[in-house]
A and B are shown apart, each in its own frame.
Chain A
Amino acid sequence: MKLEVKNITKRFGTLVANDNISLTLQPGEILSLLGENGAGKSTLMNVLYGLLQPDEGQILIDDKVQKFSGPGEAMAAGIGMVHQHFMLIPVFTVAENVVLGHEPTGKVGNLDLNAARKLVKKISDRFGFDIDPDAKIQDLPVGAQQRVEIIKSLARDAKILVLDEPTAVLTPQETDELMEIMRGLSKNGTSIIFITHKLREVQQVADRIIVIRQGKVVSEASPKASAGELASLMVGREVDLNTSKKAAKVGVETLVVKDLTVLDDRNQQMVNGISFSVHDGEVLAIAGVQGNGQTELAEAILGLRKIHSGSIQVAGQDLTKSNVRQVLEAGVGYIPEDRKKDGLVGDFTIAENLMLDGSFGKPFAKGVQIDFAKRDEIAEKLIKEFDIRTPSATTLAKQLSGGNQQKVVVAREMSRDLKVLIASQPTRGVDVGSIEFIHEQIVAARDAGKTVVIISTELDEVLSLADRIAVMYRGRFVGIVDAKTTREKLGKMMAGIAA
């Protein structure tokens, strides 16, 4: 089947998630949709799958206009989707999951599980999947679960298969197997849309590449394009931000991380024996595509995540086994990557948010009582100092714009007596004016002799702030390089290719 997407626009409030996107998918083609997180790929696919309704534009299948009011209709039209977060029910068997929604039934409305088993076996055998129809999903490894998702789509005669970040959760071996499966499917005439931000995989399997950035199709590329080219297409920003900064005056080694290994909630090794050290008066930027262990690294340093092995020291003090409060008190400041979730309490006022991690002692507390006069005084001061645009200090944090919310977090963390600042995606979802301001603050902290670690997926941000750049890939540092390294080289490193 041929799929055409014409001028799709999807807005969430004022945000344009998809801006006039058009693309065509030929029968049997593997089209790769490449873009950073939040570029609008998933929104587009949810529109295609009927989970979201487009505000403008059309979807055509074999030149016929389609309108999907729900996933059921999209499936009936031949579109199958393998979601990034599997849409499988863990306590059900493979066969039950595959037939859910179009169950074969017997005479009295009973489930015909034998027919379901046969269906699974048939598809599984045709593509060499090796899946036991009676296994429970929760007992299967992730790679096999994904194959169940594919079977699920094929069982409904999907001619167009959308794979949303399918390799995010796979081991390299499983990834290779998936690539094989995709090639096999396309040979059988199934068209595939492969959504990813991983360059190497795109190069391996795609027939054609479309790069999406900020909700727009920015260009079409051939799989023969170099990783560096693709990376800069993907992460480039339209606004060129250059923070002017003086040469670093590097002091003593303050943050020392040795052989750090961290597991995620499912015991997957997300940080894999990383060692590095950062000095006073220096910014180390950790670059890399999202999901390569940066989040877990930051959480481990802060004490939010248990350390599996290795050690962390700040100014000679061992923090390996410390809890969050001890780490904060040792002089570590933390700007989390998701401020709404980890950085702010939306229903608290700005003044309250500015003392979020300061309730244990001075200056915000006198004994066990909050020192309101002091708190308000500090709030007023910080609102001015950090240019937080708000009607008053008693405004609720959730009523602020993203940029101002972030300034609240930055103000809180930077106003403490810091030795080390860990800033994770410090300018994500922030307007340009605020970005500039936050960058200036970070540089100011570094010039004041603090140790700064920036974790960012934005190459521009990395390049404008860093004194040294570490590129993280699959839980390891590909290398720690000079801030003058070229974009192309960094792009390659982000794809896991060491110099």
Chain B
Amino acid sequence: MTNIEVTPGMFSSAETKPSLKTPITLVAAALVVLIFFGFLGKTGDISFVWSDKREAIQLPPFIVNSMFFCTLVGAALLLIGLLSIALTIRGGKTPVWLIAIYGLGAMMALLGWLATEATQGVQMIFILGNTLVLAIPLIFGGMAGIMSERVGVVNIAIEGQLLTGAFVSAILGTITGNLYIGMIAAMIASGLLSMVLASLAIKYLVEQIIIGVLLNVLVIGVTNFLYSAWVDDDSINLNFPGTFEKLPIPLLSEIPVLGQVLFNNRITVYLMFVLVPLLWYVLFRTKLGLRARAVGEHPLAADTVGINVGRTRFWWVTIGGMVAGLGGASLTLGNVGSFGREMSAGLGFIALAVVILGRWQPIYVTLGALLFGFTIILKVWANQVSPGIPVDFITMVPYLVTLVAVAGFAGRVKPPAASGQPYVKG
């Protein structure tokens, strides 16, 4: 008698080769800057304007030759790209702060190149400030997306939740004359909308994507109707909330450049400053977050250790909806000052993209939202300083970046494993 012994092969391909896709992309983009903005760039001067006229401390504008500046920045970017290649080959990772510096450099080169010889120069405060304000609804929407996808529910309805928030906050803010009531009402309304999504998806197992799409259609339909049949006729009394006061934070707002951009804002911006780190903390440092992520990754495993999957999903999705409602309020009360038809205009879908781009991490998602915010303002600004520039391509960039990310060209993007899957108890 002989026992047959078999050695099965390796268990899994846990070892993966370091991907050079990111570093190569960095190098390629650096070369574009170096060659097209630098060597073949424009000969005039760029003037970087750092201060608003109203500010106490006035920084002198920084004036530099365009070709020289872009060549210099391009070379620096190239260096970072090469460094990243070297790091990756040695099995390391390119640190995020290095990529952030890279992004900042590339942005400066682009801005400078566009504004070469423009009389108004590169108005840094205008650009950065608007980037932030335009990104706020996206950031809140993105947080809502994170909160529902982290527990395994795909939320296509962010668009509808933003629009609900925008509508309710504007109307109730006007009627009550208190914008804070408007804001809270927006959160409640979007939260209720989320409950519909959550219960249909969790309890009745209706396909999450379909339900999300239809809730968007419903909200668009309802707000359009109410707008035309009710609000529009009497907009002074119904849709004239104005915006929150700007609340400059003492001392901090005096800091040159950054003070104006970051610390002279409306409450919606400050709420974002609080919410993003808070969500990060709850998700990754608390018991609640651990359980939420467990439910989104492996609901059955969570169930077997006594976590109520349905309830966890329901509340995270609902609270996420409230955050999206806040995003809607920040669109009206934090920026525009009144509600407009379909004013969310696809921001909810962009928020979805931002969630993926930011890999379901609050901080990265915020950075992604800022990228989108930047492109929105860039499009407007570029048209002023450099007419004839193909702004449509600038608009396209973030979407293309997202596509590249989901297609897995730039590193592995892994959603929560159970995202979109209903859970039914055995």
Interface residues of chain A, those whose CB is within 8 Å of chain B, are: 46, 49, 51-52, 70-73, 75, 81, 83, 86-92, 96, 100-103, 105, 109-111, 138-139, 141-142, 152, 171-172, 263, 266-270, 272, 473-476, 478, 496-499
Contact = CB atoms under 8 A, between A and B. Distances in A.
A47 to B, nearest CB: 11
B16 to A, nearest CB: 11
Interface in B1-30: 1-14
Contacts of A101: 291, 302, 305-307
B159 interface: no
8 contacts: A72-B306, A81-B304, A90-B298, A100-B305, A100-B307, A105-B286, A152-B305, A267-B10
A86 B12 CA distance: 15
A497 B1 contact: yes
Contacts of B45: none
B4 A70 contact: no
A103 B297 contact: no
Given A75-B305, A497-B1, A111 B290 contact: yes
A465 to B, nearest CB: 25
A87 B300 contact: yes
A72 to B, nearest CB: 3
Contact of A71 (B2, B7, B298, B305): B305
Given A109-B287, A142-B11, A272 B6 contact: yes
Interface of B: 1-14, 281, 285-291, 293-294, 297-298, 300-307, 414, 417, 425-426
Contacts of A267: 9-13
B284 to A, nearest CB: 9
Given A266-B12, A267-B12, A497-B1, A71 B306 contact: yes
Contacts of B10: 267-268
B11 A268 contact: yes
A89 to B, nearest CB: 5
B291 A100 contact: yes
Contacts of A91: 293, 297, 414, 417
Nearest to B308: A70
A83 B304 contact: yes
B146 to A, nearest CB: 15
B5 A172 contact: yes
A110 B286 contact: yes
A87 B8 contact: no
Nearest to A152: B305
A60 to B, nearest CB: 22
B303 A268 contact: no
A344 to B, nearest CB: 22
B190 to A, nearest CB: 26
A89 B306 contact: no
Contacts of A110: 281, 285-286
Nearest to A143: B11
B286 A111 contact: yes
A89 B297 contact: yes
A46 B417 contact: no
A496 B307 CA distance: 41
B306 A75 contact: yes
The 5 A-B pairs with the shortest beta carbon distances in the complex, nearest first, are A72-B306, A101-B305, A269-B9, A87-B301, A474-B6
B7 A103 contact: no
Contacts of B426: 46, 51-52
A90 B417 contact: yes
A496 B4 CA distance: 6
B290 A100 contact: yes
A96 B290 contact: yes
Contact of A268 (B2, B9, B287, B307): B9
Contacts of A83: 304
A478 B304 contact: no
B287 A111 contact: yes
With most chain A CB atoms within 10 A of its CB, the pick from B1, B13, B285, B298 is B298
B304 to A, nearest CB: 5
Contacts of B8: 171, 268-270, 272, 474-475
Contacts of A139: 14
A49 B304 contact: yes
A266 B10 CA distance: 8
B9 A103 contact: no
A142 B14 CA distance: 11
A473 B293 CA distance: 39
Given A100-B291, A473-B6, A498-B4, 17 more contacts: A46-B426, A52-B426, A75-B305, A92-B293, A92-B297, A101-B306, A103-B287, A103-B290, A103-B291, A109-B287, A109-B288, A171-B11, A268-B9, A272-B8, A473-B4, A475-B6, A496-B3
Contacts of B11: 141-142, 171, 266-268
B287 A71 contact: no
A105 B297 CA distance: 22
B301 A89 contact: yes
A478 B1 CA distance: 11
A71 B303 contact: yes
Nearest to B2: A498
Contacts of B12: 266-268
A90 B208 CA distance: 24
A51 B290 contact: no
Contacts of B414: 91
Nearest to B5: A172
Most central of B4, B5, B289 by chain A CB within 10 Å:
B4
A111 B290 CA distance: 8
Nearest to B307: A101
A109 B286 contact: yes
A89 B14 contact: no
Nearest to A265: B12
B286 A172 contact: no
A92 B294 contact: yes
